[in-house]
Structure 1
Amino acid sequence: MSPSFPSPLLERLLAEIRHAPVRAVAISGSYARGNADAYSDLDLVCYVPQSEPTSEWLGYRDGLLVSIDRQHVEARIQDLTHPESAVRAVMPLRRLHALYDPEGVVVRLQRAAQDFQWSQVALQGQAFAAEVVTHQAEVIHKLLGGLARGDAARTWSATTEVVNAMMVAMAVWRGVLADSGNTYAAQVWEAMGPTSAWSRLHRKAAGIEDLSSLRQRGETTLTLYTLTAQEVEAALSEEAVNVVTEVRHRIEAAGYTSSSAQD
């Protein structure tokens, strides 16, 4: 059972922040989702006019970690027009809990999020995923170099970047709308198939499954990249195909094969 809203604290915070230029105040995050626990922070969003600066305040109040984020409504609406931001924006906007909304700002945002359809940005999403995979070619080169030199820092850095990038690519490719940052990886695994080769490789490369060594994680990441490239192949431009094909040749030339990483 998640903790209820900390009402006395909310009342005091609201009294402090609901004045001009603030147009609306809402609860976001775990308290808005209804799954807050003893370690959750209280996320408050203050919507201000575009003429005002955005900012984020973080601190403890009454023993609770509180985040107060000043945002522009227009920026959040714009998030819904780009697949890479929409996947993370839609669900939080739908779940906003308005505390102060005299102009109907929160209602407008929630309506826009409720009306959102992935089909509106699906083609952009495919192009974005293909671009992510293509641009990670540089990081794959860094990973190959780290493995060749036995450079732990370089291997870790490149592995971490590629693992995260491949998750983002598949999330946007499949239109996975994030419930929260805590569940996003699991949502992508579910979309790809929890026991699919891609999901198993991603968990192993991330160090979640099999408790692999850093070197094994790096090698698995190379295979994860190859498999992700196959997923987005239809959306690759001719130039991107050349880049990805050459990267795959470099991986094979270095002695790394898909079968060895999946064993």
Structure 2
Amino acid sequence: MLTPQVIREATSFAFNNAILKNEKIIAYNLIGTSIINKCNLNNCLIDTYRDHGSHSRIEVLNGKVVNSLFKIDGDLLLFENFIESSVLNSKGKLHIKNGVLQDSFIRLNSGISLQLDGVESRSIDIDNTGERLSEFSIKGLLVDCVLRGLVTFSGIVNAIIYSSVLRSCFFENTSFESTVINKCNLQRVVFMNCNLKNITFSHCNIVERPLVLEGCDVTGAHFLNIPKGAINFINCYGAEKVHFIK
């Protein structure tokens, strides 16, 4: 059973070098930045509410998070953490920088910003329940992950995506820089007006319908062990020079 801590009067909070186990931290009327630094969180719930019309930010730095749930009404930054078997839900910016993220679930809402920067992600489920993301960036490694319902209108991807599932994703005006998508299942995936220079799709399983590339720059793109009939090029620049390799 979780032990509740309710923070009502303070506009921010801080934990430093603490071991938090079976804790339920509920904070109201937050303004500014709250910090959880060098802490070990095990089976915790962090549930925060910002003051009406204000900006709030939770920073989790240099720690370990296991079997915990974050429900953040504001921005959530996680930097240099080991995160396992946890759920991350933010109504603002969700920025995970460096560290390891595994066996976890990211829940996205309409209009939020998602950034995975230098993160080693294994067996994570990213589920977008809303409409377009306001900002989107993935730089790093994703292995055995599920990306579901992502809708972007700008962003940068510089990643290796391996043995993962992309389902019902719509990428618009997004730049895929030196990205490799290898041994993935692609189901109802569309790229529109994207920079796909030097992207590599390798040994992917494209199901239900062809992979749609519309208005994209595909100069130097490579498709390894993927049949031409599985790709639908619509008004793409450089499509005649795409490399299909068996």
* TM-score, scaled relative to structure 2: 0.30
Give the number of the structure whose residues are more often helix, by fraction: 1
* TM-score, scaled relative to structure 1: 0.29
Give the number of the structure whose residues are more often strand, by fraction: 2
Which structure has more RCO (C-alpha within 8 Å, separation ≥ 6)?
Answer: 1
